[in-house]
Amino acid sequence: MAPSPIRIVGLDPGLRRTGWGVIEAIGTKLSFIACGTVLPPEDDDLAARLAYLHTELVRVISVHAPDEAAVEETFVNMNPASTLKLGQARGVVMLTPALAGVPVSEYAALLVKKTVVGAGRADKAQIRMMIKVLLPKADFTTDDAADALAVAVTHAQHRCMAQVKARFAEKVALKVAAR
């Protein structure tokens, strides 16, 4: 039986720019659907920027109807105030799909880079290049959108591996039970 398609939205949180990317995965075959960047008005206060981020992500989820969401974990900045603000944006980014009933997974930036490029210390240019290789039709215009697609690809590959491990464990359990 052929695997059914799964639609994944990858999200790269930020208060100034939040990238989003939607892919479809059928087993290990990946297809680009859409991507973009949410740019809250910088002159708005924090609450208004967070509200704008939420509204735009609700629109993305409504239009593209993902089955699952994947969010990049944030790093701790040298500036505690910046880290707190980024954490608030990340909270909105995680909450929005969850409120829509979409399961949310998280991935460390190093794991995303290692999965997509093969090196945990990959730079933005390497990520862009590999996203173009993995998703030739991807039309991202920002690093944030490319990063979001990388998060979605990471989720697709890791969920596929989890399914393989589960099937293997099931077969082993059946063999053990048959003894």
Return binding residues: 12, 72, 144
Beta-carbon contacts of 74 under 8 Å, excluding residues fewer than 6 positions away, are 13, 83, 86, 87, 90
Amino acid identity of 9?
V
- Residue 90 CA: distances (Å) to CA of 16, 73, 96, 113: 12, 8, 10, 19
Catalytic status, residue 106:
no
- Please enumerate, by residue number, every residue annotated as part of a binding site for Mg(2+): 12, 72, 144
Of the listed 12, 24, 68, 147, which one is catalytic?
A: 12
Kindly name the residue from 24, 68, 144, 147 that is annotated as catalytic. 144
Catalytic option among 24, 56, 72, 147:
72
Q: Could you confirm whether 72 is annotated as catalytic?
A: yes
Helices (H) and strands (E) in the chain, counts: 5, 5
Among candidate residues 115, 120, 107, 111, the one with its CA nearest the CA of residue 131: 115
Give catalytic residues, as residue numbers: 12, 72, 144
